[in-house]
Amino acid sequence: MTLPTPPNRAANFTLPMDVQVVKEASISSNTPITDKMYKDLPGWASAVQACLQDKPTFVRVVGDQQVPFMLNGTEGTIKLNANDRPVCAASL
């Protein structure tokens, strides 16, 4: 884990930290990769393998605002759909 540049001071953080996975209400399907690539089996398998290696997109909830929260400087692509199920949003 590395500190952001410039480093944030501890006084800028409040505890407890409320970190959540981003919800994308526009995604209504539980299986977006299958819906998009149902005829291309090798492409489907490649997209599923890539998604299994990816990480979720997090936000830190501060009051009524959501602030992006990254781990090791990277942001994932897995989000919750309208049904609160994790889906790989990069494949859309």
Averaged pLDDT for residues 44-58? 91
In this structure, of 11-15, 29-33, 71-75, the range with the lowest mean pLDDT score is: 11-15
Amino acid at 82: A
Burial of 87 (0-12, 13-18, 19+ CB in 10 A): buried
Q: pTM higher than 0.75 for the full model?
A: no
Report residue 37: phi and psi, to 5°: -120, 35
